[in-house]
Amino acid sequence: MTDGLPRYPDYDVLRKRNTVSWNDPTRTAIDRRLAVDRDPHTLTEGEFATLQAICDRVVPQEQGPDLVPIAAYVDQELTLDLSLGYRYAGLPPAKEAWHRAIAALDAESVKAFDAPFVAVDAARRDTLLTRMQKGELKDPAWGDMAPDLFFKQHVLVDIVAAYYAHPTAWSRIGYGGPASPRGYVRMGFGMRDPWEAAEAHPGEEAKAARKNRNV
């Protein structure tokens, strides 16, 4: 715990799947989420690779079996043409916005670093994304779409919401996850229900891990 951040060793929210904390609709919803199709349906292979490269910087993940296929969720949302319920007047509909932004980002990358976004290193990707966030990108490929608005409304919304909707993310932050029909009982300071993640206080990692294997 060198950075002082809470840790929940061995906590996996999916261990609760067959307990009274999950009802049938929840099991259906999460099972389908975990079974997401990992191939793109709306974006081309090339666009999808660029999107993955963006996701890697917005929510860096360690390689491994728990990796959240964020780009697949974003593509799925575009395929289903789901809307948040509003759109800023300065943005085209989501699908068109993503197509355009990916093309523009590649153009910017070629202009600045002589290579498409997927081919530049992490530091350069961060530079480009930061400039997008600040509205400093000006390539004509953006058209009338403001890069900073796109960053705020899509990069930060679509990607981040997809990640934090995933059990892997919940386990990492020690969130209890689904809770129906059983909710919680112990609500005061420092109180933990036995079906919640146990935080590893210094020197007690093994104890917390044991609790976490039995949520």
Site string (39-78) toward other proteins, x via CB under 8 A? ------------------xxxx---------------xx-
Helix (H, G, I), strand (E, B) or coil at 104: helix
Q: By CB under 8 A, name the one of 41, 173, 213, 214 that touches other proteins.
A: 173
Residue 88 binds to other proteins (criterion: CB under 8 A) = yes
Site size for other proteins (CB under 8 A): 70
Distance CA 74, CA 61 (A): 16
Minimum distance, C-beta of residue 88 to other proteins, in the bound complex (Å): 6
Q: By CB under 8 A, name the one of 64, 65, 140, 181 that touches other proteins.
A: 181
Contact 21, 180 (CB under 8 A): yes
Residue 175 binds to other proteins (criterion: CB under 8 A) = yes
Residue 136 binds to other proteins (criterion: CB under 8 A) = no
Residue 192 binds to other proteins (criterion: CB under 8 A) = yes
Contact 43, 205 (CB under 8 A): no
CA pseudo-torsion sign 80, 86, 91, 92: positive
| Of residues 144 and 189, the one with the C-beta less far from other proteins | 189
Contact 15, 213 (CB under 8 A): yes
Distance CA 22, CA 60 (A): 29
